[in-house]
Chain A
Amino acid sequence: METTIGTGLSHLGAALGMGIASLGGAIGMGILVSKAIESMVRQPEQAGVVRTTMFIGIAFVEAAILYTLVISFILLAK
Protein backbone atom coordinates (compact mmCIF):
# COMPACT_ATOMS: atom_id res chain seq x y z
CA MET A 1 0.00 0.00 0.00
CA GLU A 2 1.51 3.33 -1.04
CA THR A 3 1.60 5.93 1.68
CA THR A 4 -0.01 9.23 0.80
CA ILE A 5 -0.99 12.19 2.94
CA GLY A 6 -4.60 10.99 2.77
CA THR A 7 -3.92 7.57 4.25
CA GLY A 8 -1.59 9.07 6.85
CA LEU A 9 -4.25 11.52 7.93
CA SER A 10 -6.92 8.81 8.09
CA HIS A 11 -4.63 6.65 10.27
CA LEU A 12 -4.02 9.65 12.51
CA GLY A 13 -7.73 10.29 12.68
CA ALA A 14 -8.43 6.67 13.64
CA ALA A 15 -5.89 6.74 16.46
CA LEU A 16 -6.96 10.16 17.74
CA GLY A 17 -10.63 9.27 17.63
CA MET A 18 -10.02 6.05 19.55
CA GLY A 19 -8.00 7.95 22.15
CA ILE A 20 -10.64 10.61 22.69
CA ALA A 21 -13.42 8.01 22.86
CA SER A 22 -11.63 5.93 25.48
CA LEU A 23 -10.83 9.10 27.45
CA GLY A 24 -14.51 9.99 27.69
CA GLY A 25 -15.55 6.41 28.34
CA ALA A 26 -12.99 5.99 31.12
CA ILE A 27 -14.18 9.14 32.90
CA GLY A 28 -17.79 7.97 32.57
CA MET A 29 -16.99 4.50 33.86
CA GLY A 30 -15.09 5.97 36.80
CA ILE A 31 -18.06 8.09 37.83
CA LEU A 32 -20.42 5.13 37.33
CA VAL A 33 -18.43 2.69 39.46
CA SER A 34 -17.70 5.20 42.22
CA LYS A 35 -21.39 6.06 42.55
CA ALA A 36 -22.32 2.36 42.52
CA ILE A 37 -19.82 1.59 45.30
CA GLU A 38 -21.13 4.55 47.29
CA SER A 39 -24.71 3.27 47.10
CA MET A 40 -23.61 -0.31 47.83
CA VAL A 41 -21.90 0.84 51.03
CA ARG A 42 -24.89 2.93 52.06
CA GLN A 43 -27.41 0.17 51.47
CA PRO A 44 -25.71 -3.23 51.64
CA GLU A 45 -29.07 -5.03 51.38
CA GLN A 46 -29.49 -3.59 47.85
CA ALA A 47 -25.94 -4.50 46.79
CA GLY A 48 -27.01 -7.26 44.41
CA VAL A 49 -29.39 -5.04 42.45
CA VAL A 50 -26.87 -2.20 42.28
CA ARG A 51 -24.12 -4.52 41.06
CA THR A 52 -26.25 -5.90 38.23
CA THR A 53 -27.35 -2.43 37.16
CA MET A 54 -23.74 -1.25 37.31
CA PHE A 55 -22.59 -4.01 34.95
CA ILE A 56 -25.36 -3.17 32.49
CA GLY A 57 -24.35 0.49 32.64
CA ILE A 58 -20.70 -0.37 32.11
CA ALA A 59 -21.62 -2.41 29.04
CA PHE A 60 -23.50 0.57 27.60
CA VAL A 61 -20.54 2.90 28.16
CA GLU A 62 -18.23 0.33 26.61
CA ALA A 63 -20.51 0.03 23.59
CA ALA A 64 -20.20 3.76 22.99
CA ILE A 65 -16.41 3.39 22.91
CA LEU A 66 -16.63 0.40 20.60
CA TYR A 67 -18.71 2.32 18.05
CA THR A 68 -15.62 4.49 17.65
CA LEU A 69 -13.49 1.37 17.31
CA VAL A 70 -15.60 0.22 14.37
CA ILE A 71 -15.28 3.65 12.75
CA SER A 72 -11.51 3.64 13.19
CA PHE A 73 -11.26 0.15 11.65
CA ILE A 74 -13.19 1.44 8.66
CA LEU A 75 -10.75 4.36 8.45
CA LEU A 76 -7.74 2.01 8.69
CA ALA A 77 -9.04 -0.40 6.06
CA LYS A 78 -9.53 2.31 3.42
Chain B
Amino acid sequence: MNVFIKDIELAFTYLFSSPKILVVLIPLYFMAFPIINKFQIVPSKLQTMMEMVYEFLEQQFKILFKKEADYKKWMPFFLALFFYVFFHNIMGIIPTMKPITSDINITASLAIFIFIFSLYIGISKHGLYKYLAHLTPSGIPLAFRTVMFPIEVISSLAKPFSLAVRLFANMTAGHLIIFSMFKLGEMFGNYFVPFDIVIVTTLLLFECFVALIQAFIFSYLSAIYITDMLYMEH
Protein backbone atom coordinates (compact mmCIF):
# COMPACT_ATOMS: atom_id res chain seq x y z
CA MET B 1 0.00 0.00 0.00
CA ASN B 2 1.77 3.08 -1.22
CA VAL B 3 -0.10 6.36 -0.77
CA PHE B 4 0.50 9.27 -3.11
CA ILE B 5 -0.22 12.86 -2.14
CA LYS B 6 0.29 15.01 -5.25
CA ASP B 7 3.68 13.56 -6.32
CA ILE B 8 5.05 12.81 -2.85
CA GLU B 9 5.16 9.09 -2.26
CA LEU B 10 4.15 8.12 1.25
CA ALA B 11 5.54 4.65 1.43
CA PHE B 12 4.09 2.63 4.24
CA THR B 13 5.43 -0.63 2.94
CA TYR B 14 7.89 0.18 0.18
CA LEU B 15 10.61 -1.97 1.64
CA PHE B 16 9.17 -5.41 1.18
CA SER B 17 8.29 -4.91 -2.45
CA SER B 18 11.83 -4.19 -3.65
CA PRO B 19 15.35 -5.62 -3.58
CA LYS B 20 16.28 -2.81 -1.17
CA ILE B 21 15.59 -5.34 1.58
CA LEU B 22 19.30 -6.20 1.51
CA VAL B 23 20.19 -2.90 3.22
CA VAL B 24 18.62 -4.32 6.37
CA LEU B 25 21.88 -6.22 6.69
CA ILE B 26 24.14 -3.12 6.84
CA PRO B 27 23.65 -2.43 10.59
CA LEU B 28 24.70 -6.00 11.29
CA TYR B 29 28.30 -5.03 10.50
CA PHE B 30 28.26 -2.37 13.19
CA MET B 31 26.56 -4.68 15.63
CA ALA B 32 29.23 -7.27 14.99
CA PHE B 33 31.98 -4.67 15.51
CA PRO B 34 33.30 -6.17 18.77
CA ILE B 35 33.61 -9.59 17.12
CA ILE B 36 35.32 -8.40 13.93
CA ASN B 37 37.75 -6.03 15.66
CA LYS B 38 39.14 -7.14 18.98
CA PHE B 39 38.99 -4.40 21.62
CA GLN B 40 42.39 -2.92 22.37
CA ILE B 41 43.71 -1.30 25.53
CA VAL B 42 44.76 1.78 23.57
CA PRO B 43 41.51 2.42 21.67
CA SER B 44 41.25 3.41 18.03
CA LYS B 45 38.99 6.29 16.97
CA LEU B 46 35.99 4.09 16.16
CA GLN B 47 36.43 2.16 19.37
CA THR B 48 36.51 5.40 21.40
CA MET B 49 33.22 6.43 19.81
CA MET B 50 31.64 3.07 20.57
CA GLU B 51 32.87 3.24 24.16
CA MET B 52 31.40 6.73 24.62
CA VAL B 53 28.00 5.55 23.39
CA TYR B 54 28.21 2.47 25.60
CA GLU B 55 29.11 4.47 28.70
CA PHE B 56 26.17 6.79 28.16
CA LEU B 57 23.78 3.86 27.71
CA GLU B 58 25.22 2.05 30.74
CA GLN B 59 24.64 5.11 32.91
CA GLN B 60 20.99 5.27 31.79
CA PHE B 61 20.10 1.56 31.80
CA LYS B 62 21.82 0.49 35.01
CA ILE B 63 19.23 2.25 37.20
CA LEU B 64 16.42 0.11 35.75
CA PHE B 65 17.92 -3.20 36.84
CA LYS B 66 17.75 -4.24 40.48
CA LYS B 67 20.48 -6.90 40.29
CA GLU B 68 23.92 -6.78 38.69
CA ALA B 69 23.43 -10.27 37.21
CA ASP B 70 20.24 -9.18 35.43
CA TYR B 71 22.05 -6.18 34.00
CA LYS B 72 24.86 -8.41 32.69
CA LYS B 73 22.32 -10.76 31.14
CA TRP B 74 20.03 -8.22 29.47
CA MET B 75 22.28 -5.34 28.45
CA PRO B 76 23.62 -6.95 25.22
CA PHE B 77 20.05 -7.28 23.94
CA PHE B 78 19.21 -3.61 24.50
CA LEU B 79 22.57 -2.52 23.13
CA ALA B 80 21.93 -4.51 19.95
CA LEU B 81 18.43 -3.04 19.73
CA PHE B 82 19.81 0.48 20.11
CA PHE B 83 22.43 0.07 17.38
CA TYR B 84 19.98 -1.71 15.07
CA VAL B 85 17.44 1.11 15.27
CA PHE B 86 20.10 3.82 15.22
CA PHE B 87 21.82 2.66 12.04
CA HIS B 88 18.47 2.19 10.34
CA ASN B 89 17.52 5.74 11.29
CA ILE B 90 20.82 7.31 10.28
CA MET B 91 20.61 5.68 6.84
CA GLY B 92 18.11 8.38 5.91
CA ILE B 93 20.82 11.04 5.64
CA ILE B 94 22.57 9.19 2.81
CA PRO B 95 21.31 10.81 -0.43
CA THR B 96 18.64 8.86 -2.39
CA MET B 97 17.96 6.63 0.60
CA LYS B 98 15.16 6.61 3.11
CA PRO B 99 15.50 5.54 6.72
CA ILE B 100 14.22 1.97 6.81
CA THR B 101 12.39 2.74 10.03
CA SER B 102 10.09 5.03 8.03
CA ASP B 103 8.45 1.77 6.98
CA ILE B 104 5.85 0.81 9.56
CA ASN B 105 6.48 -2.91 8.98
CA ILE B 106 9.95 -2.72 10.56
CA THR B 107 8.94 -0.69 13.60
CA ALA B 108 5.73 -2.64 14.17
CA SER B 109 7.48 -6.00 13.98
CA LEU B 110 10.13 -4.83 16.47
CA ALA B 111 7.50 -3.43 18.83
CA ILE B 112 5.23 -6.50 18.67
CA PHE B 113 8.25 -8.74 19.24
CA ILE B 114 9.16 -6.76 22.35
CA PHE B 115 5.56 -6.84 23.61
CA ILE B 116 5.24 -10.61 23.22
CA PHE B 117 8.70 -11.08 24.74
CA SER B 118 7.75 -9.03 27.82
CA LEU B 119 4.48 -10.98 28.17
CA TYR B 120 6.43 -14.25 28.00
CA ILE B 121 8.89 -13.09 30.65
CA GLY B 122 6.13 -11.87 32.96
CA ILE B 123 4.02 -15.01 32.71
CA SER B 124 6.87 -17.52 32.82
CA LYS B 125 8.57 -15.84 35.78
CA HIS B 126 5.58 -14.98 37.97
CA GLY B 127 2.67 -17.07 36.64
CA LEU B 128 -0.50 -16.02 34.85
CA TYR B 129 -2.45 -15.11 38.00
CA LYS B 130 0.19 -12.74 39.31
CA TYR B 131 0.55 -11.17 35.91
CA LEU B 132 -3.20 -10.41 35.72
CA ALA B 133 -3.22 -9.11 39.30
CA HIS B 134 -0.24 -6.90 38.50
CA LEU B 135 -2.23 -5.01 35.87
CA THR B 136 -4.28 -3.19 38.51
CA PRO B 137 -2.73 -1.57 41.62
CA SER B 138 -3.16 -3.53 44.87
CA GLY B 139 -4.60 -1.97 48.01
CA ILE B 140 -7.79 -0.56 46.49
CA PRO B 141 -11.32 -2.07 46.76
CA LEU B 142 -12.15 -5.04 44.52
CA ALA B 143 -14.94 -3.15 42.73
CA PHE B 144 -12.45 -0.54 41.55
CA ARG B 145 -10.07 -3.23 40.38
CA THR B 146 -12.73 -4.94 38.26
CA VAL B 147 -13.64 -1.60 36.65
CA MET B 148 -10.00 -0.72 36.05
CA PHE B 149 -9.05 -4.10 34.61
CA PRO B 150 -10.37 -3.67 31.01
CA ILE B 151 -8.90 -0.16 30.85
CA GLU B 152 -5.51 -1.48 31.93
CA VAL B 153 -5.67 -4.29 29.36
CA ILE B 154 -6.32 -1.74 26.60
CA SER B 155 -3.52 0.51 27.86
CA SER B 156 -1.06 -2.40 27.85
CA LEU B 157 -2.12 -3.23 24.27
CA ALA B 158 -1.52 0.41 23.32
CA LYS B 159 2.14 0.15 24.41
CA PRO B 160 3.49 -1.64 21.30
CA PHE B 161 1.28 0.51 19.07
CA SER B 162 2.70 3.75 20.46
CA LEU B 163 6.23 2.33 20.36
CA ALA B 164 5.87 1.53 16.66
CA VAL B 165 4.06 4.67 15.56
CA ARG B 166 6.40 7.00 17.48
CA LEU B 167 9.50 5.81 15.64
CA PHE B 168 7.72 5.53 12.28
CA ALA B 169 6.16 9.01 12.49
CA ASN B 170 9.37 10.69 13.61
CA MET B 171 11.39 9.25 10.75
CA THR B 172 8.72 9.85 8.11
CA ALA B 173 8.06 13.41 9.25
CA GLY B 174 11.72 14.44 9.19
CA HIS B 175 12.20 13.04 5.72
CA LEU B 176 9.02 14.62 4.36
CA ILE B 177 9.88 18.05 5.76
CA ILE B 178 13.27 17.98 3.98
CA PHE B 179 11.52 16.85 0.80
CA SER B 180 8.94 19.63 0.98
CA MET B 181 11.73 22.19 1.56
CA PHE B 182 13.26 21.06 -1.74
CA LYS B 183 9.83 21.43 -3.35
CA LEU B 184 9.63 24.96 -1.93
CA GLY B 185 12.93 25.74 -3.68
CA GLU B 186 11.44 24.59 -6.98
CA MET B 187 8.36 26.72 -6.44
CA PHE B 188 10.16 29.98 -5.62
CA GLY B 189 12.87 29.65 -8.25
CA ASN B 190 16.58 30.39 -8.16
CA TYR B 191 16.49 33.21 -5.61
CA PHE B 192 15.39 30.78 -2.95
CA VAL B 193 18.30 28.36 -3.41
CA PRO B 194 20.74 29.91 -0.85
CA PHE B 195 18.04 29.89 1.83
CA ASP B 196 17.12 26.39 0.83
CA ILE B 197 20.69 25.16 1.31
CA VAL B 198 20.86 26.64 4.80
CA ILE B 199 17.44 25.31 5.81
CA VAL B 200 18.03 21.81 4.45
CA THR B 201 21.49 21.54 6.04
CA THR B 202 20.07 22.56 9.41
CA LEU B 203 17.22 20.09 9.06
CA LEU B 204 19.64 17.29 8.12
CA LEU B 205 21.74 17.97 11.23
CA PHE B 206 18.55 17.98 13.27
CA GLU B 207 17.62 14.66 11.65
CA CYS B 208 20.88 13.09 12.88
CA PHE B 209 20.02 14.24 16.40
CA VAL B 210 16.46 12.92 16.11
CA ALA B 211 17.77 9.57 14.84
CA LEU B 212 19.99 9.23 17.93
CA ILE B 213 17.27 10.33 20.38
CA GLN B 214 14.62 8.09 18.85
CA ALA B 215 16.91 5.05 18.85
CA PHE B 216 17.68 5.71 22.52
CA ILE B 217 13.99 6.15 23.39
CA PHE B 218 13.00 2.98 21.56
CA SER B 219 15.54 0.85 23.42
CA TYR B 220 14.94 2.64 26.74
CA LEU B 221 11.17 2.15 26.60
CA SER B 222 11.51 -1.51 25.69
CA ALA B 223 13.91 -1.86 28.64
CA ILE B 224 11.29 -0.27 30.89
CA TYR B 225 8.59 -2.66 29.65
CA ILE B 226 10.80 -5.70 30.09
CA THR B 227 12.17 -4.76 33.54
CA ASP B 228 8.61 -3.99 34.64
CA MET B 229 7.71 -7.59 33.80
CA LEU B 230 10.96 -8.88 35.33
CA TYR B 231 10.36 -7.49 38.83
CA MET B 232 6.59 -6.77 38.97
CA GLU B 233 6.34 -4.47 41.95
CA HIS B 234 3.42 -2.43 43.16
* A interface residues with partner B (beta carbon < 8 Å): 52, 55-56, 59-60, 62-63, 66-67, 69-70, 73, 76-77
Contact = CB atoms under 8 A, between A and B. Distances in A.
A69 B220 CA distance: 24
Contacts of B4: 77
A77 B6 CA distance: 9
Nearest to A69: B173
Contact of A70 (B165, B214, B217, B220): B165
Contact of A69 (B162, B169, B214): B169
B214 A67 contact: no
A77 B165 contact: no
Contact of B165 (A60, A67, A76): A67
B201 interface: no
Given A56-B213, A60-B217, A66-B166, 9 more contacts: A55-B213, A59-B170, A59-B214, A63-B166, A66-B173, A67-B165, A69-B169, A70-B165, A73-B5
B3 interface: yes
Nearest to B209: A55
24 contacts: A55-B213, A56-B216, A59-B213, A59-B214, A60-B217, A62-B170, A63-B162, A63-B166, A63-B169, A63-B170, A66-B169, A66-B170, A66-B173, A67-B169, A69-B169, A70-B165, A70-B169, A70-B172, A73-B3, A73-B5, A76-B5, A77-B3, A77-B4, A77-B5
B10 interface: yes
Interface of B: 3-5, 10, 60, 162, 165-166, 168-170, 172-173, 213-214, 216-217, 220
B70 to A, nearest CB: 22
Chain A contact residues, majority secondary structure = helix
Contacts of A52: 60
A63 B216 CA distance: 14
Nearest to A62: B170
A39 to B, nearest CB: 18
B209 to A, nearest CB: 9
A57 B233 CA distance: 24
Nearest to B56: A52
Nearest to A70: B169
B10 A59 contact: no
A55 B60 CA distance: 13
A59 B169 contact: no
A69 B170 CA distance: 10
B166 A73 contact: no
B85 to A, nearest CB: 13
A72 to B, nearest CB: 10
